[in-house]
Chains A and B, each alone.
Chain A
Amino acid sequence: MQHSFRGHHLTASLLALALGAGIDAHAEDAGDGAPSVAVSGFGTVGVVHSSEAHADYIASALKANGAGATRRWSGDVDTRLGLQLDAALDKRWSAVLQLVSEMNLDGSYRPRVEWANVKYQVTPELALRLGRVALPMFLTAEYRKVGYIYPWVRPPVESYGTLPFTSGDGIDANLRWNLGPVRNTSQIFFGHADQKLVDPMRGYARRVFGLDNTSDWGALSVRASLLGGEATAAIADQLFDALDASGPAGAALTRAYAIDHKQISVASIGANYDPGTWFLMAEASRTRTHSLLGATRSIYASAGWRHGAFTPYLTWSHVRAVGATSNPGLPLAGLPPQLAGQVAALNAGLNGLLATVPRQTSVSAGLRWDLRANTALKLQYDRATPHDGSRGTLTNLTPGFQPGRTIHVASVAIDFVY
């Protein structure tokens, strides 16, 4: 609660700043370096159908539900609306506020402050930002919510769907530098990240640091990033309380799996080659959490060809778990039958959590149709297979769910920017 209050306060301040700058803009001649306000926005209207009736297909772990079990056709997987205010006071000072409305974990579309930061341009190459900024990771993570920018309906869910944090509160520095013909942008972030789960639960990460570098050389762009932090999330607290109460062996399981001050890290390297008439992208990443969220490696490759307003594309995407995703749990031998039943339930609960570590392969084919210079219509078919007893990136499983069964997902989306 305290955090969201601070968030609102910051929002109000930035709005005041933006409005103040707007008044100034009218008072002075519009010219280079004069105060200005730019309003822009983005959105996606999409519907998704999934063949799997016993689980929901989702594009982000922060959604209440998706297509499949809850509804065969869901408008909630990709639909969102974003609004951004950019206020420039002069050549050095500017501020940005971005609000995004999309389905939350509680099922509402209550808008969230995605970004709210003040930027100081120290030199034309070096910028410092203070406030809420996009966390530096992956090729497309910073603009994953702006469908118009990328060719697909959504970034590959095996790489992008399971990360709960998209923005962080802190300070970052952006530096542009050239090395011969290679143009680089380096970024460093330090701060913390908060994420509301289902009220009143929240996850947070402290001492979050991010490092990333993007190198552009002609049509080639390469980005490497590393993000780390100490995460805590109130997931399955009752289970871990019960394990703690069961004795030293149970307490050891809690230490191993509870998301309680755990060091997490996400490293990725990706490349995009886009000479205009076609593109080829590939990205590999590695996530470590030292908790029930497990350790995973993911990779995807995607290619597309642009024929006039049409861009057909193909994507292959894969995520696998590193290390065990099950645990024998507490021994049942020698326990009285009633207690053995309770302990077996705890073991099953723990293994149920570990099964959420995603292992999945998808093949996708799609078509982007640029209707106008700010609107694109996309059709996409995904063939996704969760492996090895995992539920993949699916959620809201019902008892009829069988791991390993291929699911077919059809999506239609209209993306726009304004």
Chain B
Amino acid sequence: MRALAALMLATLLAGPAVPASAAPSELVVIVSARSPVTALRPDQVAAIFLGQSVRFPDGAEAIPLDQRLGAPLRDEFYLRVTSKTPPLLKAWWSKMVFTGRGQPPAEAADSAAVRRRVAEHPELVGYIDRNALDASVRPVLVVQ
């Protein structure tokens, strides 16, 4: 009984943290609360994260910040915003690196780490789980 209760409790606790199998998680693209940027279109976000665009629409410099390689949130973000699976994304960045056109974005460990760094640097753009939002950052796109 106790083992069963523990299992149920663990399932309940784990529930929200494993969004892939339950309801789809809501991903939000964020900038610092100090940034003047209020909204971005999916194609603008895609261009920044694929190294095709280096500025926000208002002309300020934009630097993307990734979740760590292999994070489910990261794979979901790229699939929804750029239609690229992990191998296609790898091929894309191989093309950029091996033609001398750029290096992939820097990475942060998780949503909290992305939020912290984005909050501190107005030029950064990140994407996090909506549950990790707080007042230090501003959501500029809800990824559908």
Chain A residues in the interface with B (C-beta under 8 A):
32, 38, 40, 42, 82, 84, 86, 88, 96, 98, 115, 117, 119, 124-125, 129, 133-134, 142-143, 145-146, 148-150, 174, 176, 178, 181, 183, 185, 216, 218-219, 275-277, 306, 309, 370, 372-374, 376, 417
Residue of A119, A124, A125, A218 most packed against chain B (CB within 10 A): A124
Q: Which of A124, A150, A374 is B54 in contact with, Cβ under 8 Å?
A: A124
Further pairs besides A98-B98, A149-B94: 4, Cβ < 8 Å: A143-B94, A146-B98, A178-B53, A376-B87
Chain B residues in the interface with A (C-beta under 8 A):
43, 47, 52-55, 61, 63, 82-88, 90-91, 94-95, 97-101, 103, 106, 121, 123
19 pairs of residues in contact across A and B, judged by CB atoms under 8 Å: A32-B106, A32-B123, A38-B97, A40-B97, A40-B98, A42-B94, A86-B103, A143-B98, A145-B98, A148-B90, A149-B98, A176-B52, A176-B54, A183-B53, A218-B43, A276-B82, A276-B84, A276-B88, A306-B85
| A interface majority secondary structure | strand
| B106 / chain A contacts, CB cutoff of 8 Å | 32
B83–A276 touching, CB < 8 Å = yes
Residue of A88, A149, A275 most packed against chain B (CB within 10 A): A149
| A150 / chain B contacts, CB cutoff of 8 Å | 91
A84–B87 touching, CB < 8 Å = no
A309 CA to B86 CA in the complex, in Å? 10
Q: Which of A146, A176, A185, A218 is B94 in contact with, Cβ under 8 Å?
A: A146
A74 CA to B85 CA in the complex, in Å? 33
Task: Report, nearest first, the 5 A-B pairs whose CB atoms are least far apart.
Answer: A276-B83, A124-B54, A370-B87, A373-B86, A142-B99
B97–A84 touching, CB < 8 Å = yes
Chain A residue with Cβ nearest B84: A276
| A32 / chain B contacts, CB cutoff of 8 Å | 63, 106, 121, 123
| B99 / chain A contacts, CB cutoff of 8 Å | 134, 142-143
A216 CA to B88 CA in the complex, in Å? 17
| B97 / chain A contacts, CB cutoff of 8 Å | 38, 40, 84, 86
A178 CA to B55 CA in the complex, in Å? 11
| A145 / chain B contacts, CB cutoff of 8 Å | 98
| B85 / chain A contacts, CB cutoff of 8 Å | 276, 306
Chain A residue with Cβ nearest B53: A183
A134–B100 touching, CB < 8 Å = yes
| A219 / chain B contacts, CB cutoff of 8 Å | 83
| B100 / chain A contacts, CB cutoff of 8 Å | 96, 115, 117, 119, 129, 133-134
A376 CA to B83 CA in the complex, in Å? 19
What's the minimum C-beta distance from A213 to chain B, rounded to whole angstroms?
A: 14
Given A96-B100, A133-B100, A276-B85, residue A373 in contact with residue B43 (CB < 8 A): no
